[in-house]
């Protein structure tokens, strides 16, 4: 396993990038405007791409460079561009019906981080990895996932939900890059195309919401149609 024996510099670079992406997840959680939300997502994807490149450099996995480039182009440019097109078409600038205030959401996110630290700590201890970057990577992976779930549950705009789902996926990808860098190339490419399909599906859903319900809030989808 790569993370169990890293030199201190590489370990600190990895942890700094991982924590930076967690911070960007918090920026998304606390932002009111959809466009800021989108920028933070793009920035997070770039950080994760840089992390892949760092893993490729320190772990000698040449194909991870390709993954890094694909991540930066696909998650950092193409997906945000698609979502930006939807935002521009819809004239929805911000989240209107918030269940949680951004500040309460931030505190709830902090609690999620504490929870995932506890879980990761236990797992790390049982695997004999306590005190390595593996625990940090696991913590951040779990907490970005929980934050993604939090975004999905406290926001109603369809666009926020696309981004919440993408953040969730970013978290898993980040954890995979650090913990199991030797994943087959094919799987990674398949995941990237999966994301494309998610965004296209949500684009269709948004179209449907606008044409049939007249708003983009998923709160209007209450009636069960058989």
Partner 1 sequence: MTRNILLQICQVLAVLALSPLLQGAIVQFEERVQLAQGPGIFQPYRDLWKLFHKQIIVPETASWIYWLAPFVAFTAMMTVPILIPVLTDFPLPLSDMGDILGGGLILTLGSFMIVLAGLDSGSAYGGIGASRAVMVAILAEPTLILVFVGITLLAKAMLPFVVNHLLVANPAVYWSPAHLFLIAAFLILLVVETDRLPIHSSTHIEIYMIEEARILEYSGPLLALLKWASMMKQFILYTIFCNVLLIPWGLSHEGTALGVMGSVLALMGKFLLVVCAVVVVETAQSRLRFYRYQEVLAASFVFAVLAIIATQLV
Question: Which positions lie near partner 1, rule CB under 8 A?
Answer: 8, 12, 15-16, 19, 22-23, 26, 30, 101-104, 106-107, 109-110, 113-114, 117, 121, 131, 133, 135-136, 139
Task: Give the residue with the Cβ less far from partner 1, 96 or 114.
Answer: 114
CB of 33 to partner 1, least distance (A): 13
Task: Give the residue with the Cβ less far from partner 1, 107 or 204.
Answer: 107
CB of 102 to partner 1, least distance (A): 6
Task: Give the residue with the Cβ less far from partner 1, 1 or 77.
Answer: 1
| β-sheet bridge partners, residue 217 | 157
CB of 45 to partner 1, least distance (A): 20
Rounded CA-CA distance 131/146 in Å is: 22
Integer distance in angstroms from the first to the last C-alpha of the chain?
51
SS3 annotation, 81-144: HHHHHHHHHHCCCECCCCCCCHHHHHHHHHHHHHHHHHHHHHHHHHHCCCCCHHHHHHHHHHHH
Rounded CA-CA distance 89/56 in Å is: 39
Task: Give the residue with the Cβ less far from partner 1, 27 or 213.
Answer: 27
CB of 10 to partner 1, least distance (A): 13
Task: Give the residue with the Cβ less far from partner 1, 129 or 162.
Answer: 129
In the 8-state DSSP scheme, what is residue 48?
Answer: H
CB of 139 to partner 1, least distance (A): 7
């Amino acid at each position: 396993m790569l993370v169990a024996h890293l030199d201190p510099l590489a370990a600190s670079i990895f942890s700094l990038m991982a924590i930076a992406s967690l911070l960007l997840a918090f920026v998304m959680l606390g932002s009111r405007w959809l466009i800021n939300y989108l920028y933070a997502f793009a920035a997070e994807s770039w950080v994760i791409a840089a992390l892949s490149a760092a893993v490729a450099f320190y772990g000698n996995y040449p194909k991870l460079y390709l993954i890094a480039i694909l991540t930066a182009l696909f998650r950092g440019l193409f997906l945000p561009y698609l979502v930006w097109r939807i935002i521009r078409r819809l004239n929805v600038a911000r989240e209107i019906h918030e269940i949680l205030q951004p500040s309460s959401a931030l505190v709830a996110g902090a609690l999620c981080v504490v929870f995932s630290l506890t879980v990761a700590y236990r797992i790390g201890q049982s695997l004999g990895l306590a005190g390595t970057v593996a625990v940090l990577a696991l913590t951040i992976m779990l907490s970005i996932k929980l934050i993604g779930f939090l975004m999905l549950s406290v926001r109603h705009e369809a666009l926020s939900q696309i981004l919440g789902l993408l953040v969730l996926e970013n978290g898993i990808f980040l954890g995979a890059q650090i913990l199991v860098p030797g994943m087959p190339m094919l799987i990674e490419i398949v995941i990237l195309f999966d994301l494309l399909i998610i965004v296209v599906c949500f684009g269709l859903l948004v179209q449907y919401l606008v044409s049939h319900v007249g708003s983009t809030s998923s709160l209007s989808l209450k009636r069960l149609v058989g």
